[in-house]
A and B are shown apart, each in its own frame.
Chain A
């Protein structure tokens, strides 16, 4: 952590000299707290060109951000958020509406980037992320398999690949217990056409769609590395890079790594396609990443922070990092790596339904789904226990009377 901080500081200091790449000279100290993946690195590097800027890139940002923004003055002026992590900041009212600042300094932003809640701009999005199908084109064409469009086709293809025995495991998946596994269920359940809650915030997952989602996940795991319950995004990415798997539903932000010659043995062989459909729609959720500005900061700081942030979202930044993400920023040329995201969105994938209740449900799912996959419980019991766990925490949180 400290090394990361030092690195980030060193980077911002290094870039402070090159202020020519920023259209103003920032003299108010500005700090940001964001996730740590490639795209955030690119954006914060460009923010740093305005000077007086410290970036903190931390994959565990979600646990610190609410408290850091609730402090007065806030510990960071700029926050990096996504669908889910925007919720606690909105709930606690620790971020400010950006309409004025967007009007003054945000001319280059497209309407698609402005996250509006009740008409007020609360965040500015920079990229879209989603889990979509990545596949080894060489293997699929060798075996004469069409790119699967539905999960039944995925199973059929996996069976063929298994028979052919060309890779260790036909499928990979981010099924690590906890957040990742829950996300896998959310994708599949929404794909099956399920809904999570009744209007009174009671859980509504004990139904056919829930059972169908669990059963499909279990069928998929039969084609995976048996250690799937510890496999996170990085693990699946490496399985691809080392040629151990042929297909996986993986985050778009990992696509670039497949063609990185330093790490990957399969450069140019991994292609992108939309997330396969479950019963009703593409079994995936759309996520956006973007920035918010703290409320507990002076107007002067907020203005400086916003201008710095805008400098991270310029066409020049996109030009330098075109393939690091599926950018929403002007100047982005969708390359072949963006194909999966576009197809997933077109196949009707929903935005991740972030809310306070969903946060609790996600946790309950993350702790509960593995019991079905390991065979400790049957599907109905698993769903009932997850619903009970959700109800307990929702009652404790005050969401259910």
Chain B
């Protein structure tokens, strides 16, 4: 392709990526080193609020921001270096807990608690998604043409559902005396509370994620199965390879690039696990890194939000994803180079 044509095709997408991904990223990077604060003053304020039967008035010292001449709150911007990162990571407490081998104490610190859950969630769901996707793909591929269409349609359904809605529906099935809980209680004839302790919620969240993402893996693998060299398969059959051996030595090697691709996408997606936390309202037991960033950003009743800590936490999440992806990317890079030589 001519360089000019190439540039004309790629240009718009590079421009949009710079504008909507790179620029905000750089801005977040810088924001994580600065703090913007309103300038406060402490004044005596009399507030009268309704009471029963008459109003109550209190005079108290109130700390309130100073409003400048333009009608906006006066703010100062301060360079704080790595302080926001320190506030998120709490290295002193974490180190104290680590050096005493007290993991319970380490996991009471928000960031580390979130990191523990996020990593477990990501690494446990990864093989399950690939396994489930591959299984459905092989089954569908071997099903008779007549029922193939309906099976594909049904197995794609979970993927079409909006993540939060899907999470909420699973939650409603299990919360309190939901249908599924009632069924389990009947089946095991004992009282079951899925939302009373962390590990059951964690199981539900993983189950939900696998249920939701497996169809994506399935579609990709199914497409891959259509390109498996039939000659090789037939010669394997003639050589007396069993069904399992054919899968292990012919099909999986053929699908390997797709497995790497799915792994990359899944690692990136599930490291940013968020919908499950909100959908299952698991904050008391389990939080994720992405939820932590969101929590810093959400204004409270009084309108306070921690932009700097949110930026720091977002940068840390990005670093985490990069670290997770490095082995896979290196493998792809090596294969790519090897293919050229």
Contacts and interface: CB of A to CB of B under 8 A. Distances in A.
A217 to B, nearest CB: 13
B309 interface: yes
Contacts of A144: none
Contact of B298 (A63, A92, A371): A63
Given A91-B65, A355-B62, A398-B39, A288 B50 contact: yes
A387 to B, nearest CB: 14
Given A177-B283, A345-B52, A374-B284, A117 B37 contact: no
B295 A367 contact: yes
A88 B176 CA distance: 36
Contacts of A398: 35, 37-40, 76
Given A63-B298, A227-B196, A396-B309, A116 B46 contact: yes
A357 to B, nearest CB: 7
A201 B67 CA distance: 20
Contacts of A351: 49, 51, 56, 58
Interface in B23-57: 35, 37-40, 45-57
Interface in A158-189: 176-179, 181
B108 interface: yes
Contact of B87 (A367, A396, A399): A396
B119 interface: no
Interface in B275-325: 281, 283-285, 295, 298-304, 306, 308-309
A92 B65 contact: yes
Contacts of A199: 61
A85 B37 CA distance: 20
B232 interface: no
A193 interface: no
Contact of A178 (B35, B45, B283): B283
A363 B108 contact: no
B302 A230 contact: no
B304 A397 contact: yes
Contacts of B38: 91, 397-398
A358 B302 contact: yes
Contacts of B64: 90-91, 356
Contacts of B52: 128, 341-342, 345-346
A235 B302 CA distance: 26
B37 A397 contact: yes
A71 B92 CA distance: 42
A242 to B, nearest CB: 9
A288 B304 contact: no
Interface string B256-277: 0000000000000000000000
Which of B107, B110, B298, B302 gathers most chain A CB within 10 Å?
Answer: B302
Interface in A276-313: 286, 288, 295
Nearest to A393: B306
A359 B46 contact: no
A88 B302 contact: yes
A396 B193 contact: no
A114 B302 contact: no
A66 B303 contact: yes
B45 A92 contact: no
B54 A356 contact: no
Contacts, number: 173
B302 A356 contact: yes
B79 to A, nearest CB: 14
A374 B285 contact: yes
A112 B303 contact: no
Interface string A337-360: 000011001100001001111111
B175 interface: yes
Contacts of A112: 50-51, 53-55
A364 to B, nearest CB: 9
Contact of B49 (A115, A201, A392): A115
B240 interface: no
A115 B48 contact: yes
B63 interface: yes
Contacts of A177: 281, 283-284
B27 to A, nearest CB: 18
A359 B63 CA distance: 13
Interface in B234-272: none
Interface string A125-152: 1001000000000000000000000000
A230 B46 contact: no
Contacts of B37: 396-398
B73 interface: yes
A45 B84 CA distance: 46
Contacts of A335: none
Interface of B: 35, 37-40, 45-58, 61-65, 67, 71-73, 76, 84, 87, 104, 107-108, 110, 175-176, 193-198, 281, 283-285, 295, 298-304, 306, 308-309
15 contacts: A62-B299, A88-B299, A117-B46, A119-B46, A181-B284, A199-B61, A230-B175, A230-B284, A346-B52, A359-B302, A367-B110, A374-B285, A376-B104, A393-B306, A398-B37
Interface of A: 62-63, 66, 83-85, 87-88, 90-93, 111-119, 125, 128, 176-179, 181, 199, 201, 225-227, 229-230, 235, 286, 288, 295, 328, 341-342, 345-346, 351, 354-360, 362-363, 367, 370-371, 373-374, 376-377, 381, 385, 392-393, 396-399
Q: Lowest 9 A-B CB distances belong to which pairs?
A: A359-B302, A88-B303, A398-B37, A84-B301, A226-B196, A177-B284, A345-B52, A370-B284, A229-B284
